[in-house]
Structure 1
Amino acid sequence: MPLVRVRDVSKDFANGVRALEGTSLDIEAGEFLSVLGPSGCGKSTLLRLIAGLAEPTAGTIDWSGGEGLGRRPDLGFVFQEPTLMPWTTALANVALPLKLAGVARSEREARAADALGHVGLAGFERSYPRELSGGMKMRVSIARALVTEAKLLLMDEPFAALDEITRRRLNTDLLELWQRTRFTAVFVTHSVFESVFLSQRIAVMSARPGRVLSELAIPAGYPRTEAFGTSAEYAALCRLASGRLSEAMATQGAA
């Protein structure tokens, strides 16, 4: 069974907006999946439903990866903004989920320091958010999401606000981290280029109300370096993904 199975999910908000309609998607354990679509198509809503931060209006979300069928596995959520506590250190920010879970101070600080090391921030444990760059703050946010040893990492356009150089570097670092630990990754983006570089599979969504209209396998192997990002293979896959996105939009417009 997939780790997560989304079936015919719809979501209506109190203001009358239907964000999702009849959305179905399987998420396989250990894969890197991107959800690609235009702004406002319900990508973030889908992620929040998977995380349990909201409930669907219709449809079902089933799990096979928890401590029993139907139980969510441990998961981490990386939002569009780092949402760090400005009054405390990077170490304390990363250790927060462990503190809330009642983990002893010595253990949570050791695990938080280890998580910061995994995202390339060893030596910055005592730094405050105001002392960190935008990319470093996002690394802290990723470390905080992974410190609980999450099996599923949900990422909602985490690099969208960063400059292109920082974004490319973090894409590469994220893939290296995923290859080492092999968590399941679901990455929301509206960038064709980012989705192709990162993913094993791309789910392409229509405009609002969003639904998955196409899926595209990315057969390129890992690791994916800067050389891959300038290759003919990458360019061809980007054209294919862009075409799928255009098809999805045209299909929605004709519905």
Structure 2
Amino acid sequence: MVSRLVESLSQSEYTGENRCLPCTVVNLLVGAVLALAVGSRNRLLGVLVAVGSGALIYLRGYLVPGTPELTKQYLPRRVLGWFGKDPLATVELDPEHGLDDPAELERTLLAVGALEETPDGRDLQLTDAFADQWRAAMGTVDRTALRERTATALDVDPEAFERRGAGIVLLDDFRVAAQWPSESALVADVAAADLLADRIDGWEDLPAVQRAIFLSGVRLFAEDCPDGGGVEADSEVVESCCSQLDVFVVRCSDSGERLVEQPVEG
């Protein structure tokens, strides 16, 4: 009977090699406080609380329900770093330094764990963790408040955005400072901005144009669309009255909305 009770209480996903040390420490502290509080009134009962708390933490990995998620969400990153459990790698950027160089953008996104090399080492791709978080974040963006969310993400005036055809532009003194080929591209950038703000020290000090450059760089590697579908990439020729331009396009497979529209240098 005892063995059955122990087996029913045990949670292997949070114990043994899978034990979260910060979670364990936090729960031990909670158990100690409870034992001391109870022990101040009844010493024997306090001892029982201490033993019971220790047993539960040993078998289940935690005492307080929901601890793994609560620890990830509320425990300061500096504290998590003491245990080698900081979930985010970060880099520090100089807001005065230009970030137009694609190679520098890629190095930064690699450093913060947004990108990684493909298995053959010939290209880059989103890390699974970043892709999952980005996909989840896109699902929470309210399109009815998209202009305000984008303005917050870039720290600009919401009135600085203007729709042009299917696309949206950001104006600075009546000049185009940044542009998006569709509303879905804006949704993707708003979601990615929250993730990058947690990973890049000094993100809040970057000018809007630099933030937009970073976000468009992430969008190049998009694997999912805000509508929940996948993406497809190809190239096409855009003609004007006197020239032709090869354009690399990443679009949503289901809706056809464009996430990326970038000229290809010949």
- TM-score interval w.r.t. the shorter chain? under 0.3
TM-score by length of 2: 0.27
Give the number of the structure with larger relative contact order, counting CA–CA contacts within 8 Å between residues 6 or more apart. 1
Q: Which has the higher helix share?
A: 2
